[in-house]
Every structure is written in C-alpha cells, then in structure tokens.
Homo-oligomer: A and B are copies of this chain.
Amino acid sequence: MRFKFPLMAIGLELAMIVLFGLFVQYETDQNILQQLNITKPTDMGGFLELYPLFQDVHVMIFVGFGFLMTFLKKYGFSSVGINLLIAALGLQWGTIAQGILHSHGQKINIGIKNMINADFSTATVLISFGAVLGKTSPVQMLIMTIIEIAVFAGNEYLVGEIFMASDIGASMTIHAFGAYFGLAVAGVLYRSGLRSGHENEESVYHSDLFAMIGTLFLWMFWPSFNSAIAEAGDKQYRAIVNTYFSLAACVITAYAFSSLVEHRGKLDMVHIQNATLAGGVAVGTCADMAIRPFGSMIIGSIAGILSVFGYKFLTPLFATKLRIHDTCGVHNLHGLPGMMGGLAGIVAVAMGASDTSTMAMQAAALGSSIGTAVVGGLITGLILKLPVWSQPSDQNCFDDSLYWEVPRWREHDNHVHGLGDHNQLEPEI
C-alpha cells in the first residue's frame, strides 16, 4: 500500500472539499427564509435539543462499532483504526449523497438531522466491514465506503420518499442492508485457503474485554439511535421507551440461550458481545409505533434467541456450505434481526400500530433494502476482487502488522518497529 492508499485518500478528501464547496451551506434563518419564502425564523434551539442524541449516535459509530470489532487478538489497531477512517470519510460522503437526493437540486443546508443521517450512513459500511474484517485492505475499504453509501442513499430515498415506509430505527435500510451488502462482498471475496480457519482468527482474554466497551456503548445508546430522527413528541418518546425495554429483554434471552446451546451450559463471549444487541436492531422499524412496552419486550426476546442460534448454527453453515465467511457474524447481529425488524414492522402495521404506513409499503421497503444490498454488494465485491488493491495474502489475514507499525507485544519479544517483517512477530499477549 505504499502509494495507492495515501493517494486515494488524498484524492477522496479533495473531492469531498470540492463537493462541499459546491453544494453545502449552513442552515441559517436567511437560507430557510429564501427557500420557503416565509418569515418565521427557524428554531435554532431545536439543534441543541437533538444534539445529545446526535452525540450518542456518534459514540455508537466511533467507539461502539470500533471497539466491538477489537475482539480479534491481533487485529485491534485495524478494527478501531479503519473503523475511524471509514466513518470519517463516510460521514462526509453521506452528507453529500443523502443531501443531494433529499434537497432536490437545492443547496444542502446542514442541520442536526443531516449530521445524524451522515453518521447513520456510515453505519451501513461499518456493518459490512464486520463481514470482511481481517481479509481486506484499507484501500478496499475506501472503495467500499464510496460505493456502499451511494447505494444506501438511493435505497433510503426509495424507502422513505417513494415507498413512504416507516423504518425509524433503520432495521431494514441500515442493518439488513449493511449485513447483506457485506455478506455479498464476503461471498465474492471468499478465500478457500482459509476454509479450515486461521490461527489469528480468535480472541485473547483482554481483547474480549476491549470488545465489551463497544458492546456496552452500542447497547446503552441504542434508544438514541432509534429515536434521533423520529417525529418530536409521542413518536420520539415511544422510540426511546420501546428500544430501552426491547434491549433489556434481549439481554436475558441472549444469556439464557448462550448457556443452553453450549453443551456444558457455559456462556460464550461472542454471544454476549453481539446477541445482546439484536433487540435494538429488531425493534428498529416499529420503534416509534404504539406496540406497547411488552410488545417491544417480545420482539427483543425473540431477537436475542434468533441471534444466538445464528451464531451457533448459521455462521458455520454459511462458511462451509455457502462459502461466505462472516468474520464478526454480522448476519446474526444485523442481518437476521434486521429482517425480523422489517417483518415486525409489517405485523405492527397490520395490527394498526401506525397510521402512516401500509403493509405493502413495508414489504416493498424490506425487499428493496435486501435486494439493493445484495446487488450492490456483489458488484462491489467484483470490483474489490481486482488484484490491484493491496489485498492481504491468506497467511497475512487478521494481522495488524501488515498495514500498521506494531509495537512489541510484551517485554521480552523482539521489537518489530522498523524491522519491516511482520512475520517475525511473536504475538504473546
């Protein structure tokens, strides 16, 4: 990656600056007045009211997703580092991609909801990143960020503006979309050389604790994720309450079934780190609907069970039968629960919990999200497969030292700084 990575990054940042110069402006009273031809000043106070929710989402994106992926023993720098890189590029590009579609050719006025949506758009890429974690280069991730967010913005526009479907917590447009996009990419990039596993694809004790930092910040702030762009008042209130109780219920079933599926009844950190979050995904679509707190707890409970079963039975099956290797198991945390969220939304609409959507709209949204994700992911996978993007060799997968200067692991190891050969590492921590 001697020059490809830095030159591509610089080129992309220059492009972002040009695009922002052309299309983006402040949301000021004057702008709004000009456009709407009205005299009522905008309420800038509304910016500060949603700002804490934006910051919660911000923490989920950068600390939550970043640390959740640090579970691999030798891939923590890349997990948290490339997560930061993807998100920083993605929020700029997402501002443009979503903004242009929603502003209908006008200038994009940056408000708090644009910033929340920009962070949201990066989430899709970070979910997909989980599927290919350890098997791709930073250059490939820059390319995936650009393509995926463009496709995401298109599908999100379709779902929200054309189908007029409800998906306030983005179970379909972010979680299912990100998961199936990533799985499609992972399928195209399948490495038969890793069929029987890789010695680096495992955790050590402290890497699992680092991952719990990610889990907890995702878990705690998920009510903000599902409510940040909800309609103020009852809907936003319900999105918070429903997500809070769905997640609590999900924790209990995830723990119970993690213990049940293991033959001696022990808990598995992979389940605790991930399946405890499935309740936030699954309640996303109908979070702002009047599904009642116990309804959200039923959704969360089922999601926790589903996710544990996914990790236990589907992930191995995918790897062997479908030739799709899903490093973080994003199918179990985002794919299945996201799809379940879409279906729960259809059921909730059928039961009259929403007065603005129909079952058909919801079904179209679910189909469109999965369809565009798979097609977009396959095309992206083919592009990323071109042998010019500094992909790691099979042997170098799941190893930071290929792209990072890695310090010694503990005192008596050979110091690798400057040696240039990551194979000399004796990673003993």
Contacts and interface: CB of A to CB of B under 8 A. Distances in A.
Contact of A24 (B88, B253, B294, B417): B294
Contacts of A251: 84-85, 88-89
Interface stretch (A173-181, A341-349, A399-407): A399-407
Contacts of A21: 292, 294
A256 B11 CA distance: 10
| Chain A interface SS verdict (over half) | helix
A256 B13 contact: yes
Interface in A48-90: 48-49, 51-53, 55-56, 58-59, 62-63, 66-67, 70, 73, 76-77, 80-81, 84-85, 88-89
B241 A6 contact: no
B13 A249 contact: yes
Contacts of A26: 234, 237-238, 241, 290, 292-293
Given A293-B26, A408-B204, A220 B55 contact: yes
Interface of A: 1-3, 5-7, 9-10, 12-13, 16-18, 20-21, 24-29, 44-45, 47-49, 51-53, 55-56, 58-59, 62-63, 66-67, 70, 73, 76-77, 80-81, 84-85, 88-89, 91-92, 110, 115, 138, 202-206, 208-210, 212-213, 216-217, 219-221, 224, 232-234, 236-238, 240-241, 244-245, 247-249, 251-253, 255-257, 259-260, 262, 264-269, 272, 276, 290, 292-294, 297-298, 301, 403-412, 415, 417, 420, 426-429
Q: How many copies does the complex hold?
A: 3
A17 B237 contact: no
B5 A252 contact: no
Contacts of A110: 241, 293
A5 to B, nearest CB: 5
A17 B80 contact: no
A428 B205 CA distance: 10
Given A49-B48, A411-B427, A27 B237 contact: yes
Contacts of A408: 202, 204-205
A157 to B, nearest CB: 22
Contact of A84 (B44, B260, B272): B272
Contact of A212 (B80, B219, B412): B80
Contact of A44 (B209, B237, B266): B237
23 contacts: A5-B256, A9-B256, A10-B253, A13-B256, A17-B297, A20-B293, A21-B292, A25-B292, A47-B237, A47-B240, A52-B55, A73-B407, A89-B251, A204-B407, A204-B409, A204-B411, A205-B406, A206-B210, A266-B404, A268-B404, A410-B410, A411-B429, A429-B429
